Amino acid sequence: MKQLNYIKLEFPARSANEGFARAAAAAFAAQTDPTMEELGDIKTAVSEAVTNAIVHAYPDSVGLVQMRLRILEGGVLEVMVRDRGRGIPDVKKAMEPMWSTGGEERSGMGFTIMASFMDSLRVRSAPGKGTAVTMTKRIRTKAGR
Protein backbone atom coordinates (compact mmCIF):
# COMPACT_ATOMS: atom_id res chain seq x y z
CA MET A 1 0.00 0.00 0.00
CA LYS A 2 1.17 3.49 -0.80
CA GLN A 3 2.21 5.69 2.13
CA LEU A 4 0.32 8.99 2.25
CA ASN A 5 1.81 10.52 5.40
CA TYR A 6 4.00 9.53 8.36
CA ILE A 7 5.63 10.67 11.58
CA LYS A 8 8.54 9.27 13.60
CA LEU A 9 9.07 9.93 17.29
CA GLU A 10 11.73 8.86 19.75
CA PHE A 11 11.55 9.30 23.50
CA PRO A 12 13.07 7.92 26.71
CA ALA A 13 11.39 4.81 28.12
CA ARG A 14 9.81 6.63 31.05
CA SER A 15 6.22 6.10 32.16
CA ALA A 16 5.57 9.86 31.88
CA ASN A 17 6.00 9.54 28.09
CA GLU A 18 3.23 6.95 27.65
CA GLY A 19 0.59 9.70 27.75
CA PHE A 20 2.56 11.76 25.24
CA ALA A 21 2.80 8.82 22.83
CA ARG A 22 -0.93 8.17 23.17
CA ALA A 23 -1.79 11.83 22.51
CA ALA A 24 0.62 12.07 19.57
CA ALA A 25 -0.88 8.96 17.98
CA ALA A 26 -4.40 10.32 18.42
CA ALA A 27 -3.46 13.70 16.95
CA PHE A 28 -1.82 12.09 13.93
CA ALA A 29 -4.70 9.62 13.39
CA ALA A 30 -7.23 12.47 13.54
CA GLN A 31 -6.44 13.42 9.93
CA THR A 32 -8.16 10.19 8.84
CA ASP A 33 -11.41 11.40 10.46
CA PRO A 34 -11.86 8.40 12.76
CA THR A 35 -14.90 7.85 14.94
CA MET A 36 -14.46 8.38 18.67
CA GLU A 37 -14.53 4.60 19.06
CA GLU A 38 -11.76 4.12 16.49
CA LEU A 39 -9.70 6.85 18.13
CA GLY A 40 -10.16 5.21 21.53
CA ASP A 41 -9.06 1.85 20.09
CA ILE A 42 -5.89 3.41 18.65
CA LYS A 43 -5.05 5.20 21.89
CA THR A 44 -5.54 2.04 23.94
CA ALA A 45 -3.37 -0.08 21.65
CA VAL A 46 -0.60 2.54 21.59
CA SER A 47 -0.70 2.79 25.38
CA GLU A 48 -0.26 -0.97 25.69
CA ALA A 49 2.60 -1.13 23.17
CA VAL A 50 4.50 1.79 24.71
CA THR A 51 3.94 0.56 28.26
CA ASN A 52 5.24 -2.88 27.27
CA ALA A 53 8.41 -1.29 25.91
CA ILE A 54 8.89 0.84 29.03
CA VAL A 55 8.25 -1.96 31.54
CA HIS A 56 9.67 -5.04 29.83
CA ALA A 57 12.40 -3.87 27.44
CA TYR A 58 14.36 -1.85 29.98
CA PRO A 59 13.63 -3.26 33.45
CA ASP A 60 16.78 -1.82 35.03
CA SER A 61 17.55 1.19 32.83
CA VAL A 62 16.00 3.92 30.71
CA GLY A 63 16.43 3.18 27.03
CA LEU A 64 14.73 4.64 23.98
CA VAL A 65 11.33 3.91 22.47
CA GLN A 66 10.69 4.70 18.82
CA MET A 67 7.21 5.14 17.41
CA ARG A 68 6.33 5.44 13.74
CA LEU A 69 2.84 6.08 12.46
CA ARG A 70 1.89 5.89 8.81
CA ILE A 71 -1.30 6.57 6.92
CA LEU A 72 -1.58 4.21 3.99
CA GLU A 73 -3.95 4.15 1.06
CA GLY A 74 -7.42 2.88 1.85
CA GLY A 75 -7.61 4.63 5.21
CA VAL A 76 -5.18 2.28 6.96
CA LEU A 77 -3.28 3.56 9.98
CA GLU A 78 -0.09 1.65 10.79
CA VAL A 79 1.58 2.05 14.18
CA MET A 80 5.02 0.64 14.93
CA VAL A 81 6.53 0.79 18.44
CA ARG A 82 10.14 -0.35 18.72
CA ASP A 83 12.69 -0.67 21.47
CA ARG A 84 16.30 -1.84 21.55
CA GLY A 85 15.91 -3.52 24.92
CA ARG A 86 16.29 -7.06 26.16
CA GLY A 87 13.93 -8.64 23.61
CA ILE A 88 11.51 -11.53 23.96
CA PRO A 89 12.95 -15.06 23.87
CA ASP A 90 9.61 -16.70 22.95
CA VAL A 91 7.16 -14.34 21.19
CA LYS A 92 4.49 -17.03 20.84
CA LYS A 93 4.54 -17.63 24.62
CA ALA A 94 4.60 -13.90 25.36
CA MET A 95 1.44 -13.40 23.29
CA GLU A 96 -0.50 -15.85 25.46
CA PRO A 97 -2.98 -14.12 27.78
CA MET A 98 -1.80 -13.81 31.39
CA TRP A 99 1.91 -14.39 30.59
CA SER A 100 4.20 -11.62 31.81
CA THR A 101 7.77 -10.90 32.78
CA GLY A 102 6.66 -7.87 34.78
CA GLY A 103 5.87 -9.55 38.07
CA GLU A 104 2.60 -9.98 39.93
CA GLU A 105 1.45 -6.40 39.35
CA ARG A 106 1.27 -7.03 35.58
CA SER A 107 -1.76 -8.69 33.99
CA GLY A 108 -0.02 -10.20 30.97
CA MET A 109 -2.79 -8.94 28.70
CA GLY A 110 -0.89 -6.32 26.67
CA PHE A 111 -0.65 -8.19 23.36
CA THR A 112 -4.19 -9.53 23.75
CA ILE A 113 -5.52 -6.00 24.24
CA MET A 114 -3.54 -4.68 21.25
CA ALA A 115 -4.89 -7.47 19.04
CA SER A 116 -8.47 -6.87 20.15
CA PHE A 117 -8.41 -3.13 19.45
CA MET A 118 -6.53 -3.20 16.15
CA ASP A 119 -7.09 -5.08 12.88
CA SER A 120 -3.66 -6.69 12.84
CA LEU A 121 -0.75 -7.20 15.23
CA ARG A 122 2.74 -8.39 14.38
CA VAL A 123 5.51 -8.80 16.96
CA ARG A 124 9.15 -9.31 16.01
CA SER A 125 11.79 -9.70 18.66
CA ALA A 126 15.28 -10.99 19.27
CA PRO A 127 16.87 -11.49 22.68
CA GLY A 128 19.32 -8.70 23.42
CA LYS A 129 18.28 -6.70 20.34
CA GLY A 130 14.78 -5.47 21.11
CA THR A 131 11.21 -5.75 19.96
CA ALA A 132 9.09 -4.18 17.22
CA VAL A 133 5.31 -4.22 17.50
CA THR A 134 3.42 -3.28 14.32
CA MET A 135 -0.34 -2.76 14.37
CA THR A 136 -2.82 -1.63 11.74
CA LYS A 137 -6.32 -0.22 11.88
CA ARG A 138 -8.54 0.52 8.88
CA ILE A 139 -10.48 3.71 9.49
CA ARG A 140 -13.99 3.41 8.10
CA THR A 141 -14.93 5.98 5.49
CA LYS A 142 -17.89 8.25 6.16
CA ALA A 143 -19.89 6.35 3.52
CA GLY A 144 -19.22 3.13 5.44
CA ARG A 145 -20.47 4.52 8.77
Q: 132 and 123 in contact (C-beta within 8 Å)?
A: yes
User: Cα separation of 71 and 18, whole Å?
Assistant: 21
% of the chain with per-residue pLDDT over 90: 74
Among 8-12, 36-40, 98-102, 129-133, the minimum mean pLDDT is found in 98-102
C-alpha distances (whole Å) from 78 to each of 25, 29, 33 are 10, 10, 15
Instruction: Give catalytic residue positions.
Output: 48, 52, 106
Q: Enumerate the domain spans of the chain.
A: 3-140
Whether the full predicted model's pTM is greater than 0.85, yes or no, is yes
Give the contacts of 12 (CB within 8 A, at least 6 positions apart). 62, 63, 64, 65
pLDDT at 142: 61
Q: What is the CATH number of domain 3-140?
A: 3.30.565.10
